[in-house]
């Protein structure tokens, strides 16, 4: 079943010997044998299969250093101090961790279900029939089938190839595709010279073939060097901001813990109680639920986007999706129906000619290297009797030649037929067929070009058809010379219904559309007029090639249509737009779109795309429809807005309360709250915030792109943190002035702290007055429940456990007045803040 040592240089072994050594056949494995091998070799993945269940995920909730220290201190107090308090601390930490576990578990399961919807499959031969299986289930000994756009799922040996060209840049750095053929090479040959082998991570550019899987997963060439070779997925702006925010709070927390502990010890307070107090404050200051809240928000947003037929592969890309202000799109299938129809088939005079259609039909029927809608349109337009015809050979389509050539045996003649872009067909022709017979191409070339331009100006796509008779039964690219021009194939791809309104909707969302097409300038101009870009500047691929990078950066924002663009120029356009300060989305599904999908801030593909495009994308549309994208953008912005709400909440009331408590503890002769009371406060105030993923979002936060801004958040934290602290100290002063006992002080302060924090959530969640913006059902219910539980707690038996007392009613009246004043002040502060501070 294995190659043992010889597998290290399988390119030096003939394909027939490899088949024997792998104990397989040219007809592939059986499903039963493949299942056995899957158990032996494992899944075909570079990631080690983690079988960590719920228990491991739960344990990871305790990985915070502060939480671990607090648990250690609680264990110490269990034996030396107060076992009841220690147990209470254990229970509260357990409940907080359980909350985080539930959130992350829910998020993880959601993501798995979404990714399963867009699984990449591989065509293979098993049980002597062709079938599609997930790429991770490929095993050594499988026979896979290759075509243009295929992603190579494992290290393989070539069994059959026909003009098979593979892009190996990910391994070798070589820009140009490499032709792959059957044979053997030296065991010492570098990767770039192993022309009989295919390697995981590379992709088929053109041609077709069949290959034997030799190595899978981490045993592949890509797996062996993946730690060095694979670049980390670049952090999004949002991820960087969250990390900076986390570091900032950790620094504040560390300084605070050390200072509070040291000062309390200096004042001769019990060491263990001082340590627990300082650590409890740290737990309150540290946004422990931030990772879980972000995961839940993003996964919840991804689930909602899935209902809009938008599948998110990389959750962190949702932020960029919401921030996107430019969308680069091709024409066919996105702006148009993508269902190409034959408009006419003309000879050199511009008159319909059945021979033109027949030769185009022969080319389309026998072409196998490149699946495309044009050939499908030709095949269904009219069917011809091919009983006297047979295919001899083929030169597949590639993006340099932009044509397909087949060799057909027809009535004992061997006829070479080429079909492709007119301007790529004409240079191969030395003659043209007319009513008067075969003439020199120069006599009609001007007329051909004129007809081409007239048709293009109408928005029609024009292909050229040429032929020549030869004696050979095999053809190559070099044979595409001295052809006879036969005529035009005129194609029509109508605009999608409502596309003009869709583009307007994108514009209303602050997203500008940039059309990038390989069609000629005239067709592109016609399209622009139809979709509302009539006065747009057009830049062609030829003009682009002569622009320096600096000149392109200066012009790119003013260009709406890029025409006659070569595939390798798309990435350059995307990079220029990014460098010019835009958040760029790129939608593509083609073989050569992978670099652009990687380069874009948001790579968008469709479920029907070729493997290499779908794997490169961050987001996959289940329908190739910009309407789907519009709804997806809205959901992305709602998700981003809800994620930022938690950050705002964590930096306002919660932060202010804990900071104030730390400050006042330096002046009081007692701790303002006991450690267990602080942890209970933290747990209760976290509960409403866990529902933020389901909150409603104001329309103004959806109507235009918003980007992460750490400076904005810091200003928010400073202003609202100071406001929170002001009312905290007002509460402290009031309680001391009215002569509250220690237990009354703690109880009143606990009530004020939790209730105000819950109400402030309703204030900071919106930029409007809070009574004008309806919160989500779950947020509202959880807020009411927490406030009710908090107010009832001093009336229950739990008051003794947490050392609360029932304060006089007039105490509660004072606390209520302070809370009302705080909420009103927060509303005024919010209005001032959003008016003065630029986002």
Using alpha carbons only, give the angle 707, 713, 718 rounded to the nearest 5 degrees: 165
Tokens of 97: 């961790």
As given in the structure block, the two tokens for residue 408 are 């057909």
Place of tokens 């709400």: 645
Active-site residue, from 142, 155, 163, 330: 330
Sign of the four-CA dihedral 745, 748, 754, 758: negative
Q: What is the dihedral of CA 66, 68, 70, 72, to 10 degrees?
A: -150
Q: How far apart are CA 121 and CA 607, in angstroms?
A: 11
**593, 616 Cβ separation under 8 angstroms:** yes
How many angstroms separate the CA atoms of 539 and 516, rounded?
A: 10
Question: 80: which 2 tokens?
Answer: 């030396």
Q: In the numeric block, which tokens belong to residue 348? A: 């050199």
330 is catalytic: yes
Instruction: At 783, list the tokens.
Output: 């807020």
Q: Cβ distance 161 to 182 under 8 Å? A: yes
Strand 413-421 to strand 203-215: parallel, antiparallel, or no bridges (unpaired)? unpaired
3-state secondary structure of 566: coil
CB 145 within 8 A of CB 28: no
- Rounded to whole angstroms, what are the CA distances from 784 to 276, 313, 452, 619, 773? 30, 36, 71, 37, 17
Q: What is the DSSP string of 32-56?
A: HHHHHHHHHH--S-SS------HHH
- Return all residues near 529 (Cβ < 8 A) that are at least 6 apart: none
Q: 398 and 590 in contact (C-beta within 8 Å)?
A: no
Q: Is the Cβ–Cβ distance between 790 and 807 less than 8 Å?
A: no
What is the spatial distance between Cα 198 and Cα 142, in angstroms, rounded to a whole number?
A: 14
Count CB atoms within 10 A of the CB of residue 76: 14
Strand positions, DSSP E, 579-635: 584-587, 602-606, 619-621
Q: What's the burial of 208, exposed, middle or buried (CB within 10 Å: 0-12/13-18/19+)?
A: buried
Structure letter (DSSP) for residue 601 = S
Distance CA 172, CA 182 (A): 20
Residues 218, 230: Cα–Cα separation, whole Å: 13
Nearest to 643 by CA among 675, 690, 711, 685: 690
Do 169 and 117 touch, CB atoms closer than 8 A? Answer: no
- Tell me which H or E stretch contains 610: none
HSE, CB side, 13 Å, CA atoms: give it for residue 419. 27
Catalytic residues: 330
């Amino acid at each position: 079943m294995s190659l043992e040592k010889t597998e290290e240089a399988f390119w030096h072994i003939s394909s027939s010997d490899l088949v024997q050594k792998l104990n397989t056949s040219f007809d592939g494995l059986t499903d039963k044998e493949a299942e056995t091998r899957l158990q032996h070799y494992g899944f075909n993945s570079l990631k080690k299969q983690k079988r960590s269940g719920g228990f491991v995920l739960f344990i990871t909730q305790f990985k915070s250093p502060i939480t671990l220290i607090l648990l250690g201190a609680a264990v110490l107090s269990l034996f030396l101090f107060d076992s009841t308090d220690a147990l209470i601390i254990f229970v509260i930490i357990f409940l907080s961790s359980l909350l985080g576990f539930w959130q992350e578990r829910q998020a993880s399961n959601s993501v798995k279900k979404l990714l399963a919807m867009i699984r990449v499959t591989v065509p293979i031969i098993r049980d002597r029939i062709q079938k599609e299986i997930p790429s991770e289930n490929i095993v050594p000994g499988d026979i896979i089938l290759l075509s243009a756009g295929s992603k190579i799922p494992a290290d393989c040996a070539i069994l059959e190839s026909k003009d098979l060209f593979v892009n190996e840049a990910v391994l070798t750095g070589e820009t140009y595709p490499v032709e792959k053929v059957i044979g053997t090479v030296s065991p010492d040959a570098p990767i770039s010279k192993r022309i009989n082998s295919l390697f995981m991570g590379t992709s088929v550019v053109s041609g077709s073939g069949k290959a034997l899987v030799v190595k899978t997963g981490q045993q592949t060439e890509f797996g062996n060097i993946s730690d060095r070779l694979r670049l980390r997925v670049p952090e999004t702006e949002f991820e960087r901001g969250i990390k900076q925010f986390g570091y900032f709070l950790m620094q504040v927390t560390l300084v605070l813990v050390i200072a509070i502990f040291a000062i309390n010890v200096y004042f001769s307070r019990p060491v263990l109680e001082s340590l627990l107090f300082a650590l409890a404050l740290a737990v309150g200051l540290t946004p422990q639920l931030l990772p879980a809240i972000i995961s839940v928000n993003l996964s919840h947003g991804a689930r909602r986007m899935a209902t809009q037929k938008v599948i998110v592969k990389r959750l962190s890309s949702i932020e960029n999706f919401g921030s996107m202000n430019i969308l680069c799109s091709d024409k066919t299938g996105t702006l148009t129906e993508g269902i190409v129809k034959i408009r006419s088939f003309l000879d050199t005079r511009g008159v319909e000619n059945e021979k033109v259609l027949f030769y185009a039909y022969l080319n389309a029927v026998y072409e196998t290297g490149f699946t495309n809608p044009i050939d499908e349109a030709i095949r269904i337009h009219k069917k011809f009797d091919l009983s006297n015809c047979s295919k001899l050979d083929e030169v597949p389509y590639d993006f340099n030649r932009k044509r397909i050539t087949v060799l057909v045996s027809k009535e004992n003649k061997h006829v070479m037929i080429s079909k492709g872009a007119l301007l790529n067909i004409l240079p191969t022709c030395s003659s043209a067929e007319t009513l008067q017979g075969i003439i020199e191409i120069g006599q009609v070339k001007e007329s051909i070009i004129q007809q081409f331009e007239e048709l293009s100006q109408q928005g029609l796509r024009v292909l050229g058809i040429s032929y020549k008779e030869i004696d050979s039964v095999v053809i190559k690219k070099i044979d595409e010379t001295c052809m006879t021009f036969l005529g035009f194939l005129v194609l029509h791809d109508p605009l999608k219904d409502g596309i003009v309104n869709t583009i307007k909707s994108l514009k209303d969302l602050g997203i500008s559309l940039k059309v990038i097409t390989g069609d000629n300038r005239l067709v592109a101009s016609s399209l622009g007029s139809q979709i509302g870009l009539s006065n747009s500047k057009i830049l062609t691929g030829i003009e682009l090639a002569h622009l320096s990078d600096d000149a392109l950066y200066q012009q790119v924002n003013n260009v709406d249509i890029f025409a006659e663009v070569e595939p390798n120029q798309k990435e350059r356009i995307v990079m220029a737009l990014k460098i010019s300060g835009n958040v760029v989305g790129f939608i593509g599904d083609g073989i050569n779109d992978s670099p652009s999908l990687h380069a874009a801030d948001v790579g968008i593909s469709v479920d029907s795309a070729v493997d290499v495009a779908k794997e490169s994308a961050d987001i996959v549309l289940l329908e190739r429809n910009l309407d789907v994208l519009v709804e997806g953008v809205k959901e992305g912005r709602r998700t981003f807005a809800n994620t930022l709400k938690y950050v705002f909440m964590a930096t306002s009331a919660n932060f202010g309360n804990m900071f104030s408590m730390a400050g006042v503890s330096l002046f009081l002769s007692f701790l303002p709250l006991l450690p267990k009371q602080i942890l209970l406060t933290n747990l209760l105030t976290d509960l409403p915030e866990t529902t933020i993923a389901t909150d409603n979002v104001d329309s103004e936060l959806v109507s235009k792109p918003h980007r992460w801004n750490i400076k904005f958040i810091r200003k928010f934290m400073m202003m609202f943190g100071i406001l929170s602290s002001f009312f905290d100290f007002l509460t402290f002063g009031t309680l001391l002035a009215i002569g509250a006992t220690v237990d009354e002080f703690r109880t009143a302060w606990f009530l004020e702290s939790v209730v105000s924090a819950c109400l402030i959530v309703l204030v900071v969640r919106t930029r409007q007055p809070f009574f004008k913006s309806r919160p989500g059902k779950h947020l509202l219910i959880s807020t009411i429940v927490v406030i009710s539980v908090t107010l009832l707690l001093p009336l229950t038996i739990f008051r003794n456990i947490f050392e609360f007392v029932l304060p006089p009613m007039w105490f509660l009246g004072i606390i209520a007045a302070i809370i009302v004043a705080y909420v009103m002040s927060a509303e005024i502060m919010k209005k001032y803040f959003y008016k003065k501070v630029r986002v």
